Chain A
């Protein structure tokens, strides 16, 4: 527990492998991740399976980690970002290395998670008009899934769901977490989490531990469980990797983004926006992509008609991450109930793109129309900013995280 500038403990050997953490040395120990489907030696890394060997540029494409230095506030590309008329974007908090998921506590603390570059969870606290960043958790393996509920902060790693009670009163000494659940598979590939709590159920995805593989009964799902980790049920199957989901404020239905497989082609398949209309539906992976074509390897003998169709296609390799239904009071009425989707942008596609997209549900389970919302994130085929997740604040303004710059922006509207 430190405030910035952070003090750092020594990185213990094997920390990532064992999932132990320095900041949480008192946290219950995690056994080594067992991952039957993780790449064995002499195999390619999971993300490289299927990469074309005929193209030298493609052969050098690999997932690019966040830059290890957050961008200084005066060097953020704010001036290049574009929004519809009346909207404004400004830096809200900076120095948040690898900023990923955003959640807000009852007392207004904003929690910010990270992936492997950060390996931290931050709290942004309002201190008399200025915002102070505290590092709550450090050197934890992929503490990417976070959620707040009844005064507690939930943190999900690839293996565990942890709960820090009464968090906003204990920001300087968060104490030992309660282990809510520790039977997640623990794989690193697509093992980082996204969390939501709805009607006292915790929603936890378990991504496919691969680019493309037969995931079995344990992966490529969204689970829901009671808040004490009991009563685990499968909500959705055939989900390759969802890094964003939310509930329709009108009827409580779960909608989620799903990242499509890599390396099939520059332009196929597209990422998906899906709607769960009945528990346990299958959304196609690894057999059917984007609802209309079967996988060249795993799709033989399968038919896309047996799987749920996406509500919307989100573009090839788009890396559609966070999504939220807008229910705030600040944006114009046309945005009420609209879905905001962060397109983080491709790493394994020659032509880059990234934006925040707005999709309007048609009221019949589909999408009536879409519009780019935040644009200007790519210049000369290089990223200037990459959106990850949203938080609609009490005043109706929207926070957006950007792991590329290690920053959180605020988008507001006034006529």
Chain B
């Protein structure tokens, strides 16, 4: 769909990757095996995390994934475990893992959970509209390019991340997210997380 037009950099990376001789390609199976060994214990076998506070990775845009790995490696996003892992990764590894992550099918909201509270979902939707979240994250909150997928993400991870942005503890390249959350009440962050976590993955 629109995704291809949105990702010139990734498409370029892919084109370069395809242009390389087969022997030089970072083998996808290699990264699948390395993902299983290095990432799966926390982030889940298919990028579907079962661990509180640890995000699903499945379906994150490759550009977003590589940007986060880069920021961890540079020490510009705080997380001791992820920085320790990222410091062992080469540039090719960052590309290989982020491309693998983008290919994992996004996670659908847990079917076992209780039915969503309709009024809370409406509140969350209103918050998302008021704070213009879809302007960058997309109308279906699937993200794109350097912007994170939010739909179907773990609720407590979303709540934690929103708090980190709100407090300035987490900063991306710019303070865009810090500014976006500047005028939102702390308790409303939970409602926003509740809503986004229950959106269908597309």
Q: List the interface of chain A (C-beta within 8 A of B).
A: 8-11, 13-17, 38-45, 48, 51, 56-57, 59-60, 62, 64-65, 67-70, 72, 75, 116-117, 119, 139, 188, 352, 380-384, 404
Q: Determine whether B144 belongs to the interface, using a CB cutoff of 8 Å to chain A.
A: yes
Set A11, A13, A48, A383: member contacting B135, Cβ < 8 A? A48
CA distance A40 to B131 in the complex (A): 11
Residues of B within 8 A of A381 (CB): 5, 8
Query: Are A383 and B132 interface neighbours, CB within 8 A?
Result: no
Q: Determine whether B70 belongs to the interface, using a CB cutoff of 8 Å to chain A.
A: yes
Query: Are B78 and A10 interface neighbours, CB within 8 A?
Result: yes
Supply 7 further A-B pairs (C-beta < 8 A) apart from A59-B135, A75-B16.
A10-B75, A13-B170, A41-B182, A60-B138, A67-B66, A352-B8, A382-B15
Nearest to A119 among chain B residues (CB) is B76
Residues of B within 8 A of A119 (CB): 76
Query: Are B6 and A60 interface neighbours, CB within 8 A?
Result: yes
> Which residues, 162 to 187 on B, are CB-close (under 8 Å) to A?
167-171, 173-176, 178-184
Nearest to A116 among chain B residues (CB) is B173
Residue-wise interface mask of B (8-22) relative to A, using a CB-CB cutoff of 8 A (1 in contact, 0 not): 110111011000000
Residues of B within 8 A of A48 (CB): 132, 135-136
Cross-chain pairs A/B with CB under 8 angstroms, 10 sampled = A13-B170, A17-B171, A38-B179, A43-B132, A44-B135, A45-B179, A64-B145, A64-B146, A69-B66, A382-B15
Residues of B within 8 A of A9 (CB): 75
CA distance A13 to B12 in the complex (A): 33
Query: Are B176 and A45 interface neighbours, CB within 8 A?
Result: yes
> Which residues, 81 to 119 on B, are CB-close (under 8 Å) to A?
91, 94-95
Nearest to B75 among chain A residues (CB) is A8
7 nearest CB pairs, A to B: A41-B183, A68-B70, A11-B76, A382-B8, A41-B182, A8-B75, A116-B173
Nearest to A384 among chain B residues (CB) is B12
CA distance A56 to B1 in the complex (A): 11
Set A60, A188, A384: member contacting B144, Cβ < 8 A? A60
Query: Are A44 and B132 interface neighbours, CB within 8 A?
Result: yes
How far does the Cβ of A143 sit from chain B's closest Cβ, in whole Å? 14
CA distance A383 to B63 in the complex (A): 15
Query: Are A188 and B74 interface neighbours, CB within 8 A?
Result: no
Query: Are A69 and B95 interface neighbours, CB within 8 A?
Result: yes
CA distance A11 to B173 in the complex (A): 11
How far does the Cβ of A306 sit from chain B's closest Cβ, in whole Å? 35
Query: Are A67 and B168 interface neighbours, CB within 8 A?
Result: no
CA distance A40 to B175 in the complex (A): 12
> Which residues, 1 to 49 on B, are CB-close (under 8 Å) to A?
2, 5-6, 8-9, 11-13, 15-16
CA distance A380 to B76 in the complex (A): 34
Query: Are A69 and B70 interface neighbours, CB within 8 A?
Result: yes
How far does the Cβ of B103 sit from chain A's closest Cβ, in whole Å? 18
How far does the Cβ of A5 sit from chain B's closest Cβ, in whole Å? 10
Residues of B within 8 A of A75 (CB): 16
Residues of A within 8 A of B73 (CB): 8
Query: Are B182 and A40 interface neighbours, CB within 8 A?
Result: yes
